[in-house]
Amino acid sequence: MTEVRALTVKRPWAALIASGIKGIENRTWWTSYRGPLLIHAGQGWDPQAALFATRIGCWPSPGYGVQALHPQGIVAVAELVDVCGGLPCRCGPWAMADSRHWRLSNVRALTEAVPAKGALGLWRPSADVVDAVMAGVEQ
């Protein structure tokens, strides 16, 4: 099986990634890992997310259910394809100063969040969690 890692992201940032709106995840640290990345929506909620996404014109459409912004657990699978060293760069409006910009591609939302306990840093999900995630990925 291909190595799979997971990353816990505060809500609603995780939902913005899962919806394909946000293709950059900002972290203060660099990683050499490249490959499948499960996006885990953690317990934490960042109230600044909606304000920032609205300001740059990227808040989900009115048809995007509020429930989709609230699930906890694994909500998407992405490919971590690169990590940018920081500004100046071409990572777009999601790129924050003083951060490493994790570039995500091929983001696939799950039809339902898969329950999982998050962790700090990149973490290794159990085989059961990976199997449940792969079964729930939108084709």
Residue-wise pLDDT for 36-84, tens only, equals 999 999 988 888 887 888 888 777 655 454 445 667 899 999 999 999 9
Question: What integer pLDDT is reported at residue 138 of this predicted model?
Answer: 59
Over residues 26-37, the mean pLDDT reads 96
For residue range 92-114, what is the model confidence (pLDDT) as tens digits?
888 999 999 999 999 999 988 99
Q: What are the angstrom distances between the C-alpha of 118 and each of 48, 58, 73, 84, 95? A: 21, 26, 8, 24, 24
Parallel, antiparallel or unpaired: strands 35-45 and 5-11: parallel
The CATH number given to 5-136 is: 2.30.130.30
Q: Is 51 exposed, middle or buried (0-12, 13-18, 19+ CB in 10 A)?
A: exposed
Question: What integer pLDDT is reported at residue 65 of this predicted model?
Answer: 46
Tell whether omega for the bond before 88 is within 30 degrees of 0, i.e. cis. Answer: yes
